[in-house]
Amino acid sequence: MKAQYTPGPWSLSFLGVIAGDGTLAGDHMVCGLRASPSDEEIANARLIAAAPELLEALEKLADAVDRFNGVFSSTDRLAGRMQGEMWGARQAALRTIAKARGAA
pLDDT value of position 27 = 78
The stretches in the chain having pLDDT less than 70 are 1-3, 21-26, 69-79, 104
Task: Give φ, ψ of 10 to 5 degrees.
Answer: -110, 155
Q: Letter for the amino acid at 49?
A: A
Q: Would you mind telling me the total number of residues written for the chain in this entry? A: 104
pTM of the model: 0.71
pLDDT value of position 41 = 92
What is the rounded distance in angstroms from the CA atom of residue 56 to the CA atom of residue 53?
5
